[in-house]
Amino acid sequence: MEKIRFIGTGCILSCLFLSFSAMAESQRVYLFGVVPQFAVQQTVETWQPVLDELEIISGLQFQFHPSPSIPEFEKQFQEGKFDFAYMNPYHAIVASHEQGYIPLIRDLSRQLYGILVVRNDSSLQSVEELAGKTVAFPSPNALGAALIPRAEFSRTYRIQVNELYVKSHSSVYLNVLLGKASAGGGVQRTLSLQPRRIRDQLRVLYKTPRVASHPVVSHPRVTDTVKEQFRSAFIELADSKKGRGLLERIPMKVPGSTSLNDYAPIRSMGLEEFYVR
């Protein structure tokens, strides 16, 4: 009898432990980071409503931690600061190697490609003509906006440019428009989101090869249960009109599961030579 009571007590304690663990997970606040392609305020206006809806669907709690610049964002994820983060594909490879971050979600409906823009009235018609000229970039490691173009300048076009780093995609386009740079690196979606008065005065000179789109990744300290709660909630968000509207602003039209395998082609590009630490 004593043995039966002991086993029963053990079961109760085990159930209580699991219950407390689940409660602790639901009450924990997960730090969420986003690669800053725009000014901080615009990034907050885009992502905070998404996180608010994800909290309602998943029952998890998030704290949005906007980074003032891409280099600062890189420093933070390389230190493992974020529980979840939205980052460019090459960042995901670096984050996986250095901290064990795991890609969870990406937009399955599109691929990422970088662009170089010039003013509409510019005489430049080819990448080769940028030799010796000033080209604006948001940061050295912005994949489509800087990392791939810089590699292409060196390997494919055999040219050198004067690199001007201006912290965000929006600043790149403004510097080109104001004539402070002959060309600038960005991605199609950030150009499309610029005010018409800016967008309509720029033209695309060059497009990079296409790769899988930006993922949302999770740190290995996040439990598998929470990862699946987050993944399911993100996908479910696209089921409502309100949710689709919020995701459109990222943009992430068709969120779906992803893994490091989707980013394997980027490894073969040999971009580590141009990645700045």
How far apart are the C-alpha atoms of 44 and 233, rounded to whole Å?
20
What is the pLDDT at residue 39? 83
Per CATH, the number for 29-110+212-273 is 3.40.190.10
Q: Are strands 162-165 and 134-137 parallel, antiparallel or unpaired?
A: parallel
What is the pLDDT at residue 6? 42
Structural element, H or E, at residue 217: strand 215-218
List per-residue pLDDT tens for the chain, 277 residues long: 444 444 454 544 444 444 444 445 557 999 999 998 888 899 999 999 999 999 999 999 999 999 998 899 999 999 999 999 999 999 999 999 999 999 999 999 999 999 999 999 999 999 999 999 999 999 999 999 999 999 999 999 999 999 999 989 999 999 999 999 999 999 998 999 899 999 999 999 999 999 999 999 999 999 999 999 999 999 999 999 999 999 999 989 999 999 999 999 998 899 999 999 8
Written as six digits, the tokens of 118 are 């010039």
How far apart are the C-alpha atoms of 159 and 219, rounded to whole Å?
39
Q: Tell me which DSSP letter residue 208 carries.
A: P
Question: Do the beta carbons of residue 149 and residue 208 sit within 8 Å?
Answer: yes
What is the pLDDT at residue 21? 44
Rg of the chain's alpha carbons, rounded to an integer?
22
Written as six digits, the tokens of 180 are 């402070």
How far apart are the C-alpha atoms of 164 and 146, rounded to whole Å?
11
What is the pLDDT at residue 111? 93
φ and ψ at residue 67, rounded to 5 degrees: -100, 140
How far apart are the C-alpha atoms of 46 and 141, rounded to whole Å?
22
What is the pLDDT at residue 189? 87
How far apart are the C-alpha atoms of 94 and 90, rounded to whole Å?
6
- Check: CATH 2.30.110.10 for 114-209? no
What is the pLDDT at residue 26? 57
How far apart are the C-alpha atoms of 101 and 164, rounded to whole Å?
30
What is the pLDDT at residue 115? 98
So where are the chain's domains?
Answer: 29-110+212-273, 114-209
- For 65-132, strand residue ranges (E) read 84-86, 102-107, 111-112, 114-119
How far apart are the C-alpha atoms of 30 and 274, rounded to whole Å?
32
Same fold yes or no, 29-110+212-273 and 114-209: yes
